[in-house]
Structure 1
Amino acid sequence: MMKKLLVLVMALGMFGISQAQEFDVGIKAGVNFSQFQDAKNFDSDSRTGLLAGAFVGVKFSDRFAIQPEILYSQQGGDSDFGDYHIDYVNVPVIFKFYLISDVLNVQAGPQFGFVANDDFPEFEAIEEQVEAESFDISAAVGAGLDLPFGLRVDARYNFGFTETIENTDAKNGVFSLALGYSFL
């Protein structure tokens, strides 16, 4: 599955580059506020984590761009039963629509997540029974500012579609704030 997704992202990237008016590459880092949504059998509080990674932006017109990213993202939640720390390598494919010139944009797109680390510190006695799903599909919506000198600011919310922890119906809900820098 990972190989097929990587090939798809690369193919979209190559097509986008060939059609692009503008092209940029950059890095970004920020903070996540994550919580499990729709969980049965437990309530969870927010977990604060970091996100960091890189992006490639391809602008097709004055109003429309696509921005694939690869991000390391600390997510999860805290509950009465214990803390759930699940770290992902996320691959969002963000479509950007510019509202005001080249500055203010709204964003939306799919996100594909691969578990890099799952840690359930309070569940050591039953660790084999508490498993994170290895793959996560979500949708991202948000807004961003493309500022002078290559600076970028993004605020997004990711709605999880897939179960995060086996047999819980829990889905990721993640609000993130990130600061980026474009090299081109």
Structure 2
Amino acid sequence: MDTKTIKRLALSALAALAMALPSQAQSYTHSRYYNEHSGRLDYGYRDSGLGTGDMYYGFRIGPAFSTVNSDDPTLDGSDSQTGLTVGAVVGIPLSDEIPLYLEPGLFYTEKGGKKDIINDLGEKKKMTYDLNYLEVPIVLKYIYSIDDHFTIQPQFGGYLACGVGGKMKNYDERKAFSSFSDDAFQRFDGGLRVGCGVSYDLFYADITYDIGLSNICHDTFDTSHNGCLSLNFGVNF
């Protein structure tokens, strides 16, 4: 599956979500997480008879602002580049006593970076690095209720990712080649994720930052690392 196909699927999912949101907003009281006593969606509500909160499921989509920092000048894209992140998560309760959840997910995320280069004629040209990944984040999340509808959800964990496509583009030489070739970047990436989310009933938003710890370049002596700030919007069911 190429990058264009993945992006088309992501946009189709966004369109489907936009069509579904009005009905979901009107019918969230029928959710199995709806607590009739508080009048809100309560993921720690013990209505299952099992003594713990239920799992929840979420859809996320939003922009990603990323850089790729390298000791190798050819691979260094330290200026921020904007891409897309889209995916789904599941929240698994870990405790009877506190609203602590393990939240794994699966995302398609467009990372990378860009920079300006000066050619032999003194002209400023652009070079971009597109690094597109299938990413599996796993975070611990604490869901703190402010009132009957509003929650704050700090999170901390990590991610693993595999590169699925992307091009390095030199606009001066008008050349493009795979970002994951032998003389560019490695496909595997991993690191830490920190962030905080907020929710109002079923609606959700968060901001997260991925700190790349894996050296994603092939060179033995140089290092390259991803960094990515993401804004996610979506719903929980």
Q: Settle same-fold status: TM greater than 0.5.
A: yes
Contact 2:131-2:163 within 8 A present in 1 as well: yes
Q: Which of 154, 174, 182 does residue 228 from structure 2 map onto?
A: 174
Question: For residues 51 and 69 of structure 2, what CA distance do their matches in structure 1 show?
Answer: 39
Q: Deviations over 1:17-64 (max 9, x none)?
A: x99522111211011000123544345211100000111111234431
Q: CA deviation at 1:154?
A: 1.1
Contact 1:31-1:49 within 8 A present in 2 as well: yes
Q: CA deviation at 1:129?
A: 5.5
CA RMSD of aligned residues (A): 2.4
- Bigger drift between 127-136 and 168-177 goes to 127-136
Question: For residues 90 and 74 of structure 1, what CA distance do their matches in structure 2 show?
Answer: 10
What TM-score comes out, normalization by structure 2 length? 0.63
What secondary structure sits across from 1:80 in the alignment? strand
| Higher share in strand | 1
Rg larger in structure: 2
Contact 1:103-1:145 within 8 A present in 2 as well: yes
Q: CA deviation at 1:132?
A: 1.9
What secondary structure sits across from 2:106 in the alignment? strand
Contact 1:103-1:147 within 8 A present in 2 as well: yes
- 2:193 matched to 1:153? no
Map 1:1-184 → 2, pairs under 5 A: 21-37=53-69, 39-41=71-73, 42=76, 44-61=78-95, 62-80=98-116, 82-101=127-146, 103-122=151-170, 124=175, 130-148=183-201, 150-167=202-219, 168-183=222-237
Contact 1:31-1:50 within 8 A present in 2 as well: yes
The structure with higher relative contact order (CA 8 Å, sep 6+) is 1
Question: For residues 126 and 22 of structure 1, what CA distance do their matches in structure 2 show?
Answer: 47
What TM-score comes out, normalization by structure 1 length? 0.79
Contact 1:118-1:132 within 8 A present in 2 as well: no
1:89–1:20 Cα change, 3 Å = farther
Contact 1:44-1:80 within 8 A present in 2 as well: no
Unaligned runs of 5+ in 2: 1-49, 118-126
Question: For residues 93 and 126 of structure 1, what CA distance do their matches in structure 2 show?
Answer: 32
- Bigger drift between 174-183 and 61-70 goes to 61-70
Question: For residues 160 and 184 of structure 2, what CA distance do their matches in structure 1 show?
Answer: 19
- Bigger drift between 130-139 and 54-63 goes to 54-63
AA aligned opposite 1:163: N
**Seq. identity, %:** 25
Question: For residues 87 and 126 of structure 1, what CA distance do their matches in structure 2 show?
Answer: 14
Unaligned runs of 5+ in 1: 1-17
